[in-house]
Structure 1
């Protein structure tokens, strides 16, 4: 039997657990001195599919001035409304569990869950995530968009590795299922 593709969260957060300020800013993240690209290129080679929510997609397109940065990968954006696909992105408005179960069985590399907080919450609650790679920045921003939202779910994790990139610490966990 072939290996199933893994769903991997690869994300940075502040020490106090936020992925962005309440104004959706990541300026705090770029103030921290890293090392190279902090493991991004290495990780990017392990995936061929990208998943994200519509709000994250809109933020990326605004920051990248309309140039989608993941055009070399299959990219899916979850949206509650009907949106026309682009040459780089397929918009999805269907049950997340059904969609991810089908995606998992297709041939390919691992699948990156980019974010944001709402879509990640659903993936975690539905126990779709297989691995978490969380890079922690040594900064406290006080409030913002939390990486993990409170809810009635629990995940049992195993620490698989720790790396540092100058001031950043990368924590790698697998989800015990």
Structure 2
């Protein structure tokens, strides 16, 4: 049995996950609002593994949750070209995202959360490895930035599972057909 691969991410109305300089300031009070959002708690109960790029990791530890790594209870895989020392639940790797996720999907465990960023998400989308897309749309139009989806040889057909509005944000869940 293969583990479920989940992309849970926020984007601007025009499809950007970060501003051109990598800033995620447009999320505003997103971290505080997540505490009132049950889909985040549901996600955390389903997963035991997170996969993210180095830039996303740096944003988490330096901006979003300084002093308290929020995924201590999960095994985190940080895809990076920099050499780092691993700890019990924090693994730095230079493995390609598709190879890493295919390997992890074959292992025993709960679902795998793809946290970000764009260079991690793009090859996984193109390889059609993501089973569930949970996308929170923030009502702001950036005009430019780092897109959630890059150009690729598609299509990938999805089914809309759920849509709702909470805290002035639109939450949409899609599943792979």
Instruction: Give the secondary-structure state (helix, strand or coil) at the position aligned to 2:122.
Output: helix
Whether the aligned pair in 2 keeps the contact of 1:74 and 1:89 (CA below 8 Å) is yes
- Judging changes above 3 Å, is the alpha-carbon distance between structure 1 residues 141 and 98 closer, same or farther for their aligned structure 2 residues? closer
Equivalent in the alignment of 1:59: 59
Give me the CA root mean square deviation: 2.1
Aligned length: 174
Instruction: Give the secondary-structure state (helix, strand or coil) at the position aligned to 2:98.
Output: helix
Confirm or deny that 1:49 pairs with 2:49: yes
Deviation at 1:39, TM superposition (A): 2.4
* Residue range with higher mean Cα deviation, 26-35 or 97-106: 26-35
Following superposition, which runs of at least 4 residues in structure 1 exceed 4 angstroms of deviation?
A: 31-35
Unaligned runs of 5+ in 1: none
Confirm or deny that 1:13 pairs with 2:11: yes
Give the TM-score taking structure 2 as reference length: 0.87
Equivalent in the alignment of 1:90: 91
Confirm or deny that 1:172 pairs with 2:173: yes
* Structure 2 Cα separation of the partners of residues 31 and 60 of structure 1: 14
Cα distance per residue 1:137-162 (max 9 Å; x no partner) = 11111111111112333211111111
- Judging changes above 3 Å, is the alpha-carbon distance between structure 1 residues 170 and 127 closer, same or farther for their aligned structure 2 residues? same
